[in-house]
């Protein structure tokens, strides 16, 4: 996998994917799993003004740049499974998705997802699902596999936080344009990502079936269990 957030460069991320594919081919890797995403330009072409175009060539750079690297694996003849991951609950700890306290003292999580449900998972379970893919042998080579533990709305995520934190957490469903204006590094990218998840939910959820994920790893962690184990690690802004 690659980490877009280390450098915020889609071109670098695509190049890293190419390097991984070339290295896998040179090493004779018999089964590679490439952590990637949908190409959101399949739903929002660059001239589609429903969503801003970023860095001239992308709608959701950290999605699209990974998708741009997919072909390098097949071009190099590497037996590959494409793995679509889901939003990590760890983002509540490390990535600023956790509750923030408003001027009135109320805790809130803020995403531009309306009432849409979107797939999410514990980051640690992704590796276990990947192991499940390897255990299937050749069955999933050449396939695209998505994993998630639950499909949750922002309201459901807030309710879970309220239960473990012992105080009310509300869900603040802002418009995508507002989220993009927040000004933190990558806000425009994340705002576009959330817009994609909300507006194209059938496709996004459909690619990440919970029961199939559980067949890969029967021990999938639930959101409630993850919150109970990690509640003391979630910063309350």
Taking only the tens place, the pLDDT of each residue in 182-227 is 999 999 999 999 999 999 999 999 999 999 999 999 999 999 999 9
Return the DSSP state at 231: G
Q: What is the pTM of this model?
A: 0.95
Burial of 87 (0-12, 13-18, 19+ CB in 10 A): buried
Residue 237's pLDDT band (cuts 50, 70, 90): confident
Annotation: CATH topology of 4-233:
Rossmann fold (3.40.50)
Query: How many Cβ atoms are within 10 Å of 104's Cβ, its own excluded?
Result: 6
Which residues are CB-neighbours of 92 under 8 A, at least 6 positions away?
Answer: 98, 161, 230, 234
Determine the Cα angle at 177 with ends 67 and 147, to 5°: 35
| Overall residue count recorded for the chain in this entry | 237
Burial of 139 (0-12, 13-18, 19+ CB in 10 A): exposed
Query: pLDDT per residue over 119-174, tens digit each?
Result: 999 999 999 999 999 999 999 999 999 999 999 999 999 999 999 999 999 999 99
Query: pLDDT per residue over 55-81, tens digit each?
Result: 999 999 999 999 999 999 999 999 999
| pLDDT of res. 96 | 87
């Amino acid at each position: 996998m690659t980490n877009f957030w280390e450098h915020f460069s889609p071109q670098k991320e695509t190049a890293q994917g190419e390097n991984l594919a070339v290295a896998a081919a040179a090493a004779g890797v018999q089964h590679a799993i490439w952590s990637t995403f949908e190409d959101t330009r399949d739903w929002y072409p660059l001239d589609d003004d429903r969503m801003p175009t970023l860095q001239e060539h992308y709608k959701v750079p950290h999605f699209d740049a990974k998708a741009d690297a997919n072909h390098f694996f097949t071009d190099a003849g590497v037996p590959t499974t494409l793995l679509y991951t889901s939003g990590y609950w760890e983002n509540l700890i490390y990535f600023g998705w956790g509750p923030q306290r408003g001027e009135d003292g109320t805790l809130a999580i803020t995403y531009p997802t309306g009432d849409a449900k979107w797939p999410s998972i514990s980051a640690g379970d992704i590796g276990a699902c990947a192991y499940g893919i390897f255990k299937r042998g050749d069955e999933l080579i050449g396939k695209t596999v998505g994993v998630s533990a639950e499909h949750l709305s922002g309201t459901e995520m807030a309710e879970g936080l309220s239960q473990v934190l012992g105080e009310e957490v509300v869900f603040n469903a802002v418009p995508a344009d507002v989220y993009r204006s927040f000004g933190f590094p990558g806000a425009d990218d994340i705002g576009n990502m959330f817009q994609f998840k909300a507006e194209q939910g059938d496709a996004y959820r459909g690619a990440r079936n919970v029961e199939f994920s559980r067949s890969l790893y029967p021990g999938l962690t639930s959101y409630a269990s993850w919150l109970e184990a990690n509640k003391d690690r979630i910063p309350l802004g």
